């Protein structure tokens, strides 16, 4: 399908300019067709060609521009192709510019938004924001599914294809705004779910009980050691006192008998 728009080139009121967009043979490219005409029936004259590219286009996205040059218009905020040609009377000039098809929202970006929304929804379960979060996450999911569906069946008309892409951009920005609102709920949560609170209390009690038991056994061990070191009196030996022990009564009697 071919779409055309016509206008006069600045200052050259005798020159009619046609701009057509149509799908190229490659699924990953779009072709911009520029047509310029010398309307004079008997005079050869110079024709200036100037065609603006879609605003999303960068020089690296231009796969083929024939012999045209490319420049940037700061007022329009977009790139354009231009050239000057000598045309014979009634001569028609056609130029094709092939562009890489960049008019699709990346699938990775879509799935990233979806994944984060689901995580936020799980974190807000059993909180005062659970219902609102669930509503927003459902909206986000619907918007992302709409983008995917639109991109599965792209319009054969390149102008419509680009227009659909711009609508998809607005849709994903809306989904991201919903996601930002869901994120804000996380910081506003005033209290943890009751089940979580009781689990934390139980864990703290168990921890303190184990800690107290371990301290008790350590204290008992240290107490026994201190008591033993304080009240233990080692036996005195002859070497330490310098005195000789008296003979036992039995030994004295045996000496007398001898």
pLDDT at 88 over 80: yes
Average pLDDT score over residue span 168-183: 95
What is the pLDDT of the chain when averaged over all its residues? 78
3.30.70, 2.60.40, 1.10.3470, 1.10.260: which CATH number matches 3-100?
2.60.40
Q: How many helices (H) and strands (E) does the chain have?
A: 6, 8
- d(CA 59, CA 236) in angstroms, rounded, equals 104
Average pLDDT score over residue span 105-127: 91
pLDDT tens-digit map of 1-38 = 333 333 333 333 333 333 444 444 345 788 888 888 88
61: DSSP letter:
G
The model's pTM is 0.60
Average pLDDT score over residue span 39-59: 90
- Which residues, in sequence order, are CB contacts of 52 under 8 Å at separation 6+? 73, 76, 78, 79, 80
> Between these two residues, 210 and 220, which has the higher pLDDT value?
210
Tokens of 13: 């009121």
204: region left, alpha or beta (phi > 0 left; psi from -120 to 50 alpha) = alpha
Tokens of 134: 């669930």
């Amino acid at each position: 399908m071919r779409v055309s728009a016509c206008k006069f080139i600045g200052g050259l009121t005798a020159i009619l300019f046609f701009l057509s967009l149509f799908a190229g043979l490659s699924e990953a490219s779009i072709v911009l067709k520029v047509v310029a005409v010398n309307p004079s029936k008997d005079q050869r004259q110079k024709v200036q060609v100037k065609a603006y590219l879609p605003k999303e286009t960068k020089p690296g996205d231009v796969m083929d521009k024939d012999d045209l040059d490319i420049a940037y218009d700061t007022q329009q905020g977009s790139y354009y192709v231009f050239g000057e040609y000598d045309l014979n009377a009634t001569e028609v000039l056609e130029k094709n510019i092939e562009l890489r098809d960049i008019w699709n929202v990346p699938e990775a970006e879509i799935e990233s938004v979806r994944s984060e929304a689901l995580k936020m929804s799980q974190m807000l379960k059993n909180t005062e924001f659970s219902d609102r979060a669930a509503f927003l996450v459902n909206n986000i999911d619907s918007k992302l599914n709409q983008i995917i569906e639109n991109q599965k069946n792209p319009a054969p008309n390149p102008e419509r294809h680009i227009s659909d892409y711009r609508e998809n951009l607005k849709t994903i920005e809306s989904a991201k705004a919903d996601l930002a609102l869901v994120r804000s709920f996380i910081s506003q949560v005033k209290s943890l779910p009751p089940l979580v609170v009781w689990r934390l209390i139980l864990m703290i009690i168990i921890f303190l009980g184990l800690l107290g038991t371990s301290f008790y056994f350590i204290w008992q061990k240290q107490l026994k050691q201190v008591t033993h070191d304080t009240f233990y009196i080692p036996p005195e030996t002859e070497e330490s006192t310098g005195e000789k022990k008296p003979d036992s009564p039995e030994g004295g009697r045996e000496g007398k008998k001898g």
